[in-house]
Structure 1
Amino acid sequence: MAVDEAGRVRLVGAVPLLHPEQQIVEEMLAGWRNQQLCRNLQFATIDQRTRYVHRFIDHTGEFPWNWTPVHVEEYFGDLRSVKHLSHATLRGQQAALRAFTSYVANPDYGWDRVCERQFGTHPAQVFFEWNTAAHVQDNEGRPRRRPYSKQELQTLFDHADDEVARVASSGRKGWQQAYRDATMLKVAYSYGLRFNELRHLQTVDFATNPHARQFGAFGVCKVRYGKARRGSPHKPRSVLTVFSWTPGVIQDWVANGRGEPGTLDLFPSERGGLVGEPTLIRRLRRYIVDLGFPDGLDLHSLRRSYATHLIEDGWDPTFVQDQMGHEYASTTGIYEFVSSDFRNATLRAALQRTTQAALEGEPG
């Protein structure tokens, strides 16, 4: 038995398998991997999907050719009621497992013949519309997630700076890491960046904006690792600097914190690689607890805050959309949580314009 580059299985001779169940599952996954590579999916996506298949097998105690809709309902009922998975996470797992069963159940790939010969049965699709979650709206985020207010942001950034000073004055190691993380939080907000976009920034990713020379060499941030669409490479974009304090933050970090690490990476880890997301999340969570902030704030809230604050400050929504790297305005709208003060001010301005127009239209 062998699997080709397209994921098709070929029966080779009649050599008996020592552990046929485990070996055939591994060959199925190898073939599925080849099929997904042909679709240009990212390696991380393929590996995550493979883990989902293994988890489903471990939970059900059954191999793919014995799966039934009952196994689907029991497994995902447990994930919702016991492990409390979010809607988006649950739907993502179901989509991955549906894709796997579509692959092994498709006669073009030959797994039906292999399983019939080995086990007297064959794989079938067991994930249907009536037993899986549907994607019915753009925003599946948890309702309690929200942006920081401007006051919360200022308090957070001040606290992060104080932590750098505290660690440095104690004479202990770690001040450079604290300084790096404080700068990362500020840069993430300054450009509305996702974490993966932030961690891949290099010193050569900044340039002068000829239309805003007051920002010097940091007028434009070139994001090279923008969120990729399925089967596509990372989507690059250029984000214009909008806050007057941003260049100073980056300049100070490069001059006094980053040192000379022998790499172009703007935020190298202490071991010379890229900073992992858990590292920054742990520090941010500690700061949030220290400051007594309410629930609903996380690392991605910095990106939510960027969109919200620009809209509140009167920036054009299309400009904000381009800065965020969104193809559709409706996607940017998910990130906008304008304050009541902003909405009331907008309402008053609209009513005032309407009243003024009515008065000007009255006969003299």
Structure 2
Amino acid sequence: MLTGWRAQGQSRGLAALSLKNRGDLVRRFMSFTGEYPWAWTAEDLESWSSDLRDRGRALTTIRGYQAALRKYCEYVTDPAYGWGELCWERFGTHPVQICHEWNTVAHVAEVEASPAVRPLTRDEIEQLFDYADERVAAACQSGRKGWLAAWRDSAMFKIAYAYGLRRRELARLETVDFYRNPKAPEFDRCGVCHVRWGKAVRGGHPRRRSVLTTMPWAPQVLQEWLEIRAEYGDVAGRWMWPTERGAVVSPAHAGRRFAEYRDAAGLPSELHLHCLRHSYVTHLLEDGFDPFFVQQQVGHRWGGSTALYSGVSSDFKNKALRASLDQLAGGSMEGF
């Protein structure tokens, strides 16, 4: 059954890692129930889901697990594959759908992230980057071996913010992904960041987009890092964020490093690497960039997704309110 389900997923174009994770999930569920799929019941799903809740799993995680099991049950109960008939002949029973609307987590909220997760303020961005710079300076002065990694991490976090990148997009950057923008020649070869590993639609390839440089300090960070990066030698290849062992910084490692820097800089623990992307959206909107331009920059298909990312400050909203009220007041006077 699992082999056939995997083949079906491959036919749909699902990624190898997704297929592996789905298969592992089915095996874990089978281990929990102690039963084969043709003996599973809705009660088994409910007991398993309750156990996950008791162990502190998030509702979004549980819903993802349930969705995978629903897909598996759809496969094994589909008459086109013949599993039901085969199980009936051999075991006197057959698999059934165990995931229903009344025993699975519903997707009822547009935003399910923790309310504590938010964009960093400009002061917090400065606080984080100041700490990163201090860490580089201290490592260079002490002559420690880790000075190169400290410089890499500092540049990596700044570029994540300066271009509004997701973790995977950031980790998969190469030196050849930056280009000149003829409309912004002052940025030299750092006018455009070509993102080649964007978030993929299910069963599709990673989506690409071009992110224009909007923050004047970003090219200097890039150019300095590209010069320092030469210290890695040939092991770096074309990766933007190499390691001394010839590997590349992974998305998970980037997240862990951010958490380390965040804690050391004294920032709230609910902030994570993806919050830099939220900060990018928020600060561009506060600086007066057109919302559709921001949407294109971060690769959102719908403007509503970009709006969910933003958390414009009260100061920005108060300025916008004052400008609108002054405009309305001026117009109303002209009407009398």
Please give the secondary structure, in 2, of the residue aligned with 1:257.
helix
Q: Does 1:241 align with 2:206?
A: no
Which deviations, in whole Å up to 9, do the C-alpha atoms of 1:39-60 show, x marking residues without a partner? 1111121111112111211222
- TM superposition shift of 1:223: 0.3
Please give the secondary structure, in 1, of the residue aligned with 2:211.
strand
Q: Distance in 1 between matches of 2:213 and 2:293?
A: 12
2:31 to 58, 61, 64: 58
Please give the secondary structure, in 2, of the residue aligned with 1:238.
strand
Alignment of 1:198-347 (within 5 A): 198-259=170-231, 260-262=233-235, 263-347=237-321
Please give the secondary structure, in 1, of the residue aligned with 2:95.
coil
Q: Distance in 2 between matches of 1:329 and 1:222?
A: 21
Please give the secondary structure, in 2, of the residue aligned with 1:51.
helix
Which deviations, in whole Å up to 9, do the C-alpha atoms of 1:136-166 show, x marking residues without a partner? 3432212111111111111101101111222
Q: Distance in 2 between matches of 1:159 and 1:132?
A: 45
Which of 261-270 and 229-238 deviates more? 261-270
Q: Distance in 2 between matches of 1:258 and 1:164?
A: 17
1:11 corresponds to: none
Indicate conservation of the 8 Å contact 1:144/1:295, yes or no: no
Q: Give the percent of matched residue pairs that are identical in Structure 1 and Structure 2.
A: 47
Which deviations, in whole Å up to 9, do the C-alpha atoms of 1:56-101 show, x marking residues without a partner? 1122222211111111111111212x22222321111111110001
2:142 to 147, 165, 170: 170
Question: Could you say if the C-alpha distance between residues 31 and 161 of structure 1 is closer, same or farther in structure 2, counting changes exceeding 3 Å?
Answer: same
Which letter maps to 1:101? C
Question: Could you say if the C-alpha distance between residues 158 and 258 of structure 1 is closer, same or farther in structure 2, counting changes exceeding 3 Å?
Answer: farther
Which 5+ residue runs of structure 1 have no aligned equivalent?
Answer: 1-27
Please give the secondary structure, in 1, of the residue aligned with 2:120.
coil
1:122 corresponds to: 94
1:18 corresponds to: none
Q: Does 1:29 align with 2:2?
A: yes
Flag the structure with larger Rg.
Answer: 1
Q: Does 1:108 align with 2:74?
A: no
Q: Does 1:46 align with 2:19?
A: yes
Which deviations, in whole Å up to 9, do the C-alpha atoms of 1:303-322 show, x marking residues without a partner? 00000000111110000000
Which of 201-210 and 52-61 deviates more? 52-61
Q: Distance in 1 between matches of 2:94 and 2:244?
A: 52
Q: Distance in 1 between matches of 2:211 and 2:222?
A: 15
Alignment of 1:57-206 (within 5 A): 57-80=30-53, 82-206=54-178
Which letter maps to 2:223? Q
Give the paired residue count.
Answer: 334
RMSD: 1.3
Q: TM-score, normalised by structure 1?
A: 0.89
Indicate conservation of the 8 Å contact 2:192/2:213, yes or no: yes
Q: TM-score, normalised by structure 2?
A: 0.96
Please give the secondary structure, in 1, of the residue aligned with 2:80.
helix
Q: Distance in 1 between matches of 2:135 and 2:67?
A: 43
Q: Distance in 2 between matches of 1:269 and 1:106?
A: 48
- TM superposition shift of 1:258: 4.4
- TM superposition shift of 1:359: 1.3
Please give the secondary structure, in 2, of the residue aligned with 1:135.
coil
Q: Distance in 2 between matches of 1:193 and 1:261?
A: 26
Which deviations, in whole Å up to 9, do the C-alpha atoms of 1:311-363 show, x marking residues without a partner? 1111100000000100000010110011111111111111111001011222x
Q: Distance in 1 between matches of 2:333 and 2:11?
A: 66
Which of 185-194 and 256-265 deviates more? 256-265
Q: Distance in 2 between matches of 1:177 and 1:119?
A: 59
Indicate conservation of the 8 Å contact 1:206/1:220, yes or no: yes
Which letter maps to 2:56? H
Which letter maps to 1:333? A
Q: Distance in 1 between matches of 2:18 and 2:37?
A: 20
1:6 corresponds to: none
Which deviations, in whole Å up to 9, do the C-alpha atoms of 1:108-148 show, x marking residues without a partner? 11212332233221111110111111223432212111111
Indicate conservation of the 8 Å contact 2:178/2:191, yes or no: yes
Which 5+ residue runs of structure 2 have no aligned equivalent?
Answer: none
Higher relative contact order (CA closer than 8 Å, sequence separation 6+): 2
Please give the secondary structure, in 2, of the residue aligned with 1:148.
coil
